[in-house]
Amino acid sequence: MISRWRIYCRSNEPNIRVIGRRFNLISVTPLSINPPPITQPPPPEWGKKPEFRITPPNSNVDPVAGKYIATGLNRDAVPIAVAKYGDNQIKVREFVNGYTVLREMGFEDNSVAEALFTYDNDKEAAAHFLSSSS
């Protein structure tokens, strides 16, 4: 067993010399351990929502309307709401929510917009008006 150790030490470790059962360490060069290179992006920070670009960069969308569309509001209703209410977030959201519900009920888009404008974004009153006028 000692002879195997001698062969191993002599062939693979040039700085260690085995004499009998003793080891003589001649010199040891210090090892430098470098951290591995970072190959993956850092993990996302918790609590932050990812940002998605919904509109293409060169589209003809109003920046105010683009802001509301980027939050996930109905792409068809937002330009109508912004044209009427400007950047009034409460009014725009009320209109878009009412517009979406009434369009899903099967009413035409122009009459839905007129009814919501007439009844100040009141979905129930606009639905009653649209169902009685049809």
Q: Is 24 helix (H, G, I), strand (E, B) or coil?
A: strand
pLDDT score recorded for residue 36: 73
Rounded Cα–Cα distance for residues 91 and 59 (Å): 25
pLDDT score recorded for residue 11: 43
CA gyration radius, the chain: 37
* Burial classification of residue 98, based on how many CB atoms lie within 10 Å of its CB (0-12 exposed, 13-18 middle, 19 or more buried): buried
pLDDT score recorded for residue 6: 45
pLDDT score recorded for residue 102: 93
pLDDT score recorded for residue 125: 93
Which residue in the block uniquely carries the two structure tokens 């888009």?
109
pLDDT score recorded for residue 63: 84
Per-residue pLDDT of the chain (134 residues; tens, 9 = 90+): 444 444 444 445 555 555 556 555 555 566 667 777 767 776 666 666 656 655 555 456 688 888 898 898 998 999 999 999 999 999 999 999 999 999 999 998 889 999 999 999 999 999 999 998 76
Model-level pTM?
Answer: 0.55
